[in-house]
Amino acid sequence: PAAEFEKARHRKPMLSLQNSYNAEDILAFDERVKKFADVPQVEYYCEPKYDGLAVELIYEKGYLVQALTRGDGEVGEVITHNIRTVKSVPLQLHTKNPPTLFEVRGEALMLKKDFADLNERQQEAGQMTFANPRNAAAGSLRQLDPRIAAQRPLKFFAYSYGVIEGLELKSQESFVETLTKFGFLTSKIAKTAKSAEEAANYYRAVLSSRHELPFDIDGVVIKVNKISLQDQLGFIARSPRWATAAKFPPEQGETIVEDI
């Protein structure tokens, strides 16, 4: 077990995304992108917005050397000792010619079934149960003793990057293909949309099928697919101009108060 959590600075800040709240907001986002970049049409990469703990993994010459939480976006906590116990995290990239530096970002989470099984085991052992999969994943990785994280059914899904040296990136889609080749779990429901209308349809489709997914999501993320266009668009304050998080409406239900 570690004595305390160390902190480390991200080479490239882990920024938050601007939020959208419906399909129409995605079309408005597209209009802003096209106007700023002065282009008639933009291709987008669409993926689920995982409801987990954002993590950055740092590989040097193909080997995992450090793992950080998002923290405040500038500085995160070092959780390398815990991340090494997550079976879906490759300790060495699956390639003979790894990049000199490869910072991959993604989400640590628990599948719904694994979460239910964990809570059942916690209950049987007379221990505290977790409120939801996100809290369980975050609590598992923020332990000083890696043996606790090793006992938890954590998964890591990769989707983004920090600083990369020794690898040329052309599109978000080809980057995710590279992640899969390197040994990472990636989204099986991600899709490249040729237009904003297709991206809006993706949002509607995932919203209607979200409960069928094996993990929790709270929306979808729409990113400009072409990396050179991402670079051209740049950033607004603390958010990229080339991406938006299209959130789902909060779930609602009715209950009857039977007695007070």
Q: Please list the active-site residues.
A: 49
Q: Which residue has the tokens 């099986």?
A: 188
Amino acid identity of residue 146, one-letter, is P
Q: Which helix (H) or strand (E) holds 124?
A: helix 112-124
Q: Give CA separation, 203 vs 144, 208, 234, 242, in Å.
A: 39, 9, 24, 17
Distance CA 187, CA 225 (A): 15
What is the SS3 assignment for 95? coil
**Which 3 state secondary structure label does DSSP give 41?**
coil
CA–chain centroid gap for 70, Å, is: 11
What are the C-alpha distances in Å from 150 to residues 129, 145, 196? Answer: 18, 9, 42
> SS3 for 38?
coil
Cα separations (Å) of 176 from 29, 88, 99, 106, 143?
23, 16, 15, 11, 30
179: enclosing H helix or E strand? helix 172-181
Query: In this structure, which amino acid lies at residue 246?
Result: A
- Amino acid letter, residue 71: G
